[in-house]
A = this chain, B = another copy of it.
Amino acid sequence: MSLAQFNLWIAEIRNDRTRGASELARRALELLAEAAQTLPAADGVELREYLLALAAQLEAARPSMAPIQNLLRRWREGLPIPADLNLTAARHLAAEQAELLIAASRRAVADCAAHAAKLLGPEPTVLTHSLSSTVVETCRLLQDSGLRMIVTESRPLAEGRQLAERLSAWKVPTTYITDAQMGLFVARADAVLVGADSVLADGAVVNKAGTYPLALAARDRGVPFYVCCESFKWRAPDDPPPELEEMAPAELGVPDWPGVTVRNVYFDVTPARLVSAWIAETGVRWPDVGP
């Protein structure tokens, strides 16, 4: 493994526009496991230093995505490589620690989806925005229970297309709409179900831009608004305020008009007061109970 490879990995995580935060966090852990096995190092202590540097750079690559920070922090904390440990054992320990967290993350997504499916009940019509692994898994669980989906395209890169394609393969009757039509279609849903890139300590939800107006429309039309994500996505009360990542203006595909600034902020923040319930791997949290 070379420095060039190392930089390619950082760039892969930084530039990924299709995978959700959990999936990218697992990918970061996979990269750490691979680095643990292949990184040239004199001994376990040096290996540990290199791995921690790589982890720090992976964390910094996507500051809006709490699961990357949280899972990589847990990986670092579980990584006490004693000075007398031989290199082979150190490699094995670091890689195994990453694989355990990948498995825990996958299990958390599955458990979240199971709670969401139970909460939604049979034959629900559900509206979602953007592409979330917990929502996809919930749809998979409910595909034979009369699920109907309403899917927004989710500009600029239209992750809604990937979801619509998957729902089509699962034979889930699906309505596909522009983001601008969310206010028209929210009242036809029994519930809105979205994932999250991260959840602030007070329960506010950082998710794909458009989630906040969708939550407002759901509240205005009396439709429950559920957020389904693993507890890895919750930020601690003392975490710094989330940075809302902005991507390349070129993604909007417009000309370069003089005096016109094209903005492409990927995430907005939905206040906790608009959330009907938070669904995590541990169960459903209602606002009364508090996040």
Contact = CB atoms under 8 A, between A and B. Distances in A.
Contact of A161 (B181, B254, B265): B254
A176 interface: yes
A172 B259 contact: yes
Given A168-B258, A178-B210, 4 more contacts: A153-B155, A164-B257, A174-B261, A213-B214
Contact of A210 (B154, B172, B180): B180
A197 interface: no
Contacts of A220: 216
Interface string A267-278: 010000000000
Interface residues of A, number: 48
Given A216-B217, A217-B213, A174 B260 contact: yes
A245 interface: no
Contacts of A56: none
Contact of A181 (B177, B181, B265): B265
Interface string A174-198: 1111111111110000000000000
